[in-house]
Amino acid sequence: MGVPYDAQLADKQARVEALLAPFLAGAAAAVWGEPVASVESGFRAKAKMVVGGTVDAPTLGILDEAKAGVDLRHCGVIAAPILDALPAMAAFIKTAQLTPYDVAARRGELKHVIITLGARDRLMLRFVTRTRDGLARVRRRLPELLAAVPRAHVVTVNLLPEHKAVLEGSDEHALTEARALPLRVGDVALAALPQSFVQTNSAVAGELYRQAAEWVDEVAPASVADLYCGVGGFALHAAGAPGAERTVVGVELSPDAVASAELARDARYEHDDDRARIQFVADDALEWARREDALPELVIVNPPRRGIGEPLATVLAERGPQTIVYSSCNPDTLARDLAAMPDYRVERARVVDMFPQTTHVEVLTLLRRV
């Protein structure tokens, strides 16, 4: 932070170009497109706030080295509608007497507050509590919360009784009639259930999906697999308009994400033929690929920071299609995965700056088997 944005973007471009240089199909000038820039502030559509301090003076932000709360209610990278809601969230913690969880002492109730921004500035508010008492306290005062945060569309409580360094547990309780947050990303209306991964920067994610769909259309495969598909952003952009013939399967481990993708598919496509040609399955990407007799004509992969890893890279190297679209949020693991797939070369690439003011960067690549 503090580095001029043009310099940030140039540094990211240079670093990614250097990492991928051994894997290019041709001259760098022919491979690299213009980087996709972001706005410099207010871009973050999801705030994962650790709750610290006291019940009368809670902090929303992070913990310092002593495990004390550091308040980030004025953080410049968070989208304005989320920032606007944070004072009311802090006041509600006091009103509902949700004692912040003391990590060092291992006592207290409220661990995290997670806020996601959706279409038309609607919000999903999630409270991560240790016990059902926290759930009861939020439920009891829900009308006050909805009055204080009029943009709240979905409110849930997630139970995480264990003392461990994770953001949330598996036990989610929806307190509002609405369970899914509508999203508009790129050219597709998406939806997100509470435990679904959504991209950090909605505007830049839209450009990412559009670029991937453009490359897919140029290749014109009859069948596509989207591995680590999340809520279906790549898959639904690649599927094309209603009435198209391309079949698409999205594979994602999270059942909430798969259900979210199916909600978006059903809202976008009215006819049964379209819904039948676009399928989403809750499965491990590696295990799904191993079981398939033949992989689709084009595979999209959008893995977490650890990358696809050697086992899946080996499956793709041995049985993969002619073309892969690889979206990576960690160029280091992308380079490692490319080294494990020596028959593929990077034919097209673009830096996509999903994370301004950080050293993190997304890169989208089109890989061709040589």
pLDDT in tens, 340-369: 999 999 999 999 999 999 999 999 999 999
Contacts of 277 (CB under 8 A, 6+ apart): 239, 244, 245, 246, 247, 248
pLDDT tens digits, 159-182: 999 999 999 999 999 999 999 999
pLDDT tens digits, 177-209: 999 999 999 999 999 999 999 999 999 999 999
Q: Confirm whether 188 is domain-assigned.
A: no
Looking at the structure, do residues 248 and 164 belong to the same domain, yes or no?
A: no
Q: Confirm whether 97 is domain-assigned.
A: yes
- pLDDT above 70 coverage of the chain, percent: 100
pLDDT tens digits, 97-117: 999 999 999 999 999 999 999
Interval 229-246 mean pLDDT: 96
Where residue 142 sits, what CATH number does that domain have?
2.40.50.1070
Mean of pLDDT over the chain? 97
pLDDT attached to residue 158? 98
Q: Confirm whether 189 is domain-assigned.
A: no
pLDDT attached to residue 85? 98
Looking at the structure, do residues 91 and 213 belong to the same domain, yes or no?
A: no
Q: Please confirm, yes or no, whether 75 is among the known catalytic residues.
A: no
- pLDDT above 90 coverage of the chain, percent: 99
The boundaries of the domain holding residue 352 are: 5-40+200-369
Q: Confirm whether 365 is domain-assigned.
A: yes
Looking at the structure, do residues 155 and 264 belong to the same domain, yes or no?
A: no
Looking at the structure, do residues 274 and 353 belong to the same domain, yes or no?
A: yes
Looking at the structure, do residues 205 and 337 belong to the same domain, yes or no?
A: yes
pLDDT attached to residue 183? 97
pLDDT attached to residue 139? 98
Of 178, 209, 227, which residue is a domain's last?
A: 178
Interval 215-220 mean pLDDT: 97
* Catalytic residue of the set 49, 329, 335, 341: 329
Interval 80-91 mean pLDDT: 98
Q: Confirm whether 204 is domain-assigned.
A: yes
Q: How many domains does the chain have?
A: 2
pLDDT attached to residue 78? 97
Where residue 355 sits, what CATH number does that domain have?
3.40.50.150
pLDDT attached to residue 1? 81
Looking at the structure, do residues 361 and 230 belong to the same domain, yes or no?
A: yes
Q: Confirm whether 358 is domain-assigned.
A: yes
pLDDT attached to residue 51? 98
Looking at the structure, do residues 152 and 227 belong to the same domain, yes or no?
A: no
Looking at the structure, do residues 238 and 169 belong to the same domain, yes or no?
A: no
Looking at the structure, do residues 170 and 282 belong to the same domain, yes or no?
A: no
Of 178, 211, 240, which residue is a domain's last?
A: 178
Q: Confirm whether 165 is domain-assigned.
A: yes
Q: Confirm whether 193 is domain-assigned.
A: no
Looking at the structure, do residues 217 and 365 belong to the same domain, yes or no?
A: yes
Looking at the structure, do residues 288 and 168 belong to the same domain, yes or no?
A: no
User: Could you give phi then psi for residue 67, rounded to 5 degrees?
Assistant: 70, 25
Mark out the alpha helices in the chain (DSSP H runs).
5-20, 28-31, 80-95, 132-140, 142-148, 202-219, 233-238, 255-268, 272-277, 285-291, 309-319, 331-339
Looking at the structure, do residues 207 and 317 belong to the same domain, yes or no?
A: yes
How do the residues of the chain divide into helix, strand and coil, expressed in percent and rounded to 5?
35, 30, 35
Q: Report helix angle 331-339 to 5-20, nearest 10.
A: 10
pTM of the model: 0.95
Of the pLDDT bands very low, low, confident and very high (cuts 50, 70, 90), residue 326 is very high
